[in-house]
Amino acid sequence: MLTQFILVVQSTYAELIKLYWNVGEYLSTENGKTSWGASFIDETAKFIKENCPEIKGFTRRGLYRMKQFYETYKDDEIVSTVLTQISWSNHLQILSSTKTQEERQFYIKLCIKEKYSARELQRQISSAYFSRCMLSKQTYKGYTTLNELPRGKDFNEDLQALAAQIRAEKRTKARHHDVSI
């Protein structure tokens, strides 16, 4: 029963993401065509509020996020196939907290693989998990990316060992820096 519920929630997320993608595409396309410029989205939000007040999430801010969502990922073939596999909250967190396409792809794949909540994703981004993984990507057991790390009972131990190795490398670099001055 729980499995069916999870499937329904995932299906709902997928449809919601598709809707937001389509709205973002429409806004991006129409905003470029009209002479209204930025006020096009403002007017669209106002129209929705006046004509469909029961619909939530289609405020000025929400519409700008949908447009940003579409424009950020429209040319990214890798990500476009997996966009519907994470929640809108996770997408918003990734859009607002990442700087590069590679970083966005990393966190999207991480969310899918680890089934992160928005709160856990925020914690990972705040701890600079992407940067730490990229700095150490060729230094731990021959694995070059997070996706290659084995999953299983030793995964947490592997991550702890990886973190310890990163700290040791930083200390070594700091000592070397002190000696060379």
Rounded CA-CA distance 128/126 in Å is 5
Decide: helix, strand or coil at residue 100. Answer: coil
Please report which confidence band the pLDDT of residue 26 belongs to, taking 50, 70 and 90 as the band edges. very high
Residue 115 Ramachandran class (φ > 0 left, ψ -120 to 50 alpha, else beta): left
Determine contact, residues 17/84, Cβ cutoff 8 Å: yes
Q: pTM (2 decimals)? A: 0.69
What's the rounded mean pLDDT across residues 97-119?
A: 92
Please report which confidence band the pLDDT of residue 61 belongs to, taking 50, 70 and 90 as the band edges. very high
